[in-house]
A = this chain, B = another copy of it.
C-alpha cells in the first residue's frame, strides 16, 4: 500500500517509465480525485491507461467483503472487469464514471462515514452520562437487532464496548486522513451545505488540541465584561 500524495505520485511516475502502450495503471488508494484527472491526462500521450479505484471495507475486508468504486475510461474498465469480479464479493464493484469518479465517490463515502461516527459518538456519550447506568454494549447489540440505526459501524461499536465497556483505556485523540477535508472543500466549491460533515471534522481537530486559544479567549472575554473568575493555566491551575 502506497500512501496518497507524493509517494503515489512517484510510484506512478516510476511505473509509467516501465510500461508500454495500452498498459493500465490502477490507483487503488485514497488519492485526491483531481490528481487522478491530471495523472490520466499525463499518461494518455504515452498510451498508458489509468483507473482510479476507491476501496471500502476496512481491515475486515477479507472476512466480510468490501466494495470497489471504479473511475476511468469505460472500455478499460470493461477490459479489467474479470479481475474486479474475481477480487470483489458479488455486486462488490461498480463503474462510477470518468477519470476521478472512483476516488470522488470514495471521498464522499468517507465524509459520510465521519458524520455517521459522530452521530453514534454523541448518542453514546449521552447514554454514558445518564443516571440510568446503562449497559452500552448491550444497547449496541440490541439496536443491531432490527432497529432503524443498525449498521456495520454499530456492530463495531458493540465489539469495542464489549472489550472496554466505558472505553476507559482509550484516549480520545481522533486522527483524520484527508478525505473528510476534501469533502468539506468539495462542499465549498459546489455551494452545497455540509454542516454535520464539517462539524465532525472540526470535532476531530478539537480532540487533538490541548487548551485551544479560542477557549482561552472566551474565558478572557467573560472575565473582561462580567468579572467572571478566570482559571490560571499551568500546573497550578484546575
Q: Which residues of A contact B (CB under 8 A)?
A: 56-61, 64-67, 69, 71, 88-94, 96-98, 100-101, 104-105, 108-109, 111-130, 132-135, 138-139, 141-143, 145-154, 156-157, 159-160, 164, 166-175, 181, 183-188, 190-209, 211-228, 230-234, 237-238
B213 touches A124 (CB 8 A): yes
Given A170-B216, A171-B219, 15 other A-B residues pairs in contact with their CB atoms under 8 A: A58-B226, A59-B225, A67-B142, A115-B118, A116-B151, A117-B217, A125-B213, A149-B153, A160-B223, A164-B220, A171-B216, A172-B212, A172-B215, A175-B222, A195-B196
Contacts of A216 in B (CB 8 A): 167, 170-172
Contacts of A57 in B (CB 8 A): 146-148
Q: How far is the CA of A93 from the CA of B139 in the complex (A)?
A: 10
Number of copies: 4
Q: Which of B108, B141, B146, B191 contacts A61 (CB 8 A)?
A: B146
Contacts of A234 in B (CB 8 A): 169
Please name the 3 residue pairs, one residue from A and one from B, whose CB atoms are nearest each other, closest first: A115-B119, A172-B215, A151-B151
Once A111-B126, A196-B115 are accepted as A-B contacts, the answer to whether A65 and B173 lie under 8 Å apart by CB is: no
A56 touches B148 (CB 8 A): yes
Closest to A92 in B: B145
Q: How far is the CA of A100 from the CA of B135 in the complex (A)?
A: 15
B202 touches A198 (CB 8 A): yes
Q: How far is the CA of A174 from the CA of B214 in the complex (A)?
A: 10
Once A199-B199, A203-B193, A231-B170 are accepted as A-B contacts, the answer to whether A217 and B147 lie under 8 Å apart by CB is: no
